[in-house]
């Protein structure tokens, strides 16, 4: 599910205790590959996953970098638990195998 605003993200944090969240660039081939891995992981698991398209939600992307104190990268994926990122990865480190490792941690 695509998230496009901080209000939507805050609602998501209130609703979900644990979920994966991806910052996806619509123009970067590395991000395209990472997004395929992310979607494959979500299809094959019970994990909850959400994303933003950086070009369409730059403000949200920047706000999340500030709020989480994690340098913005794209592509980038976070595992959020109880409102805080407990793991994150970027670029070629976003693989189905790596996401699977963090599914039950």
Over residues 61-70, the pLDDT tens digits come to: 999 999 999 9
Domain count, the chain: 1
Q: At what angle do helices 58-68 and 6-15 cross, to 10 degrees?
A: 50
Q: CA-to-CA distance for 55 and 50, rounded, in angstroms?
A: 16
Distance CA 50, CA 38 (A): 10
Domain extent for 29: 6-103
Enter the pTM of the model.
Answer: 0.94
Strands 49-53 and 76-81: unpaired
Binned at pLDDT 50, 70 and 90, residue 60 comes out as very high
What sign does the CA torsion over 8, 94, 32, 42 have?
negative
* Six-digit token string for 80: 């959020």
Report yes or no on 1 lying in a domain. Answer: no
- Whether 64 maps to a domain, the answer reads yes
**With 90 as the cut, is the pLDDT of residue 104 above it?**
no
CATH of the domain at 13: 3.40.30.10
């Amino acid at each position: 599910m695509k998230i496009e605003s901080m209000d939507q993200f805050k609602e998501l944090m209130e609703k979900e205790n644990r979920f994966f969240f991806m910052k996806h660039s619509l123009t970067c081939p590395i991000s395209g590959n990472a997004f395929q891995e992310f979607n494959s992981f979500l299809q094959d698991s019970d994990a909850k996953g959400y994303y933003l398209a950086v070009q369409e939600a730059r403000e949200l992307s920047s706000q999340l970098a500030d709020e989480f104190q994690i340098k913005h990268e794209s592509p980038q994926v976070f595992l959020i638990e109880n409102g805080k990122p407990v793991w994150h990865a970027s670029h070629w480190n976003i693989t189905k195998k790596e996401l699977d490792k963090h599914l039950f941690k």
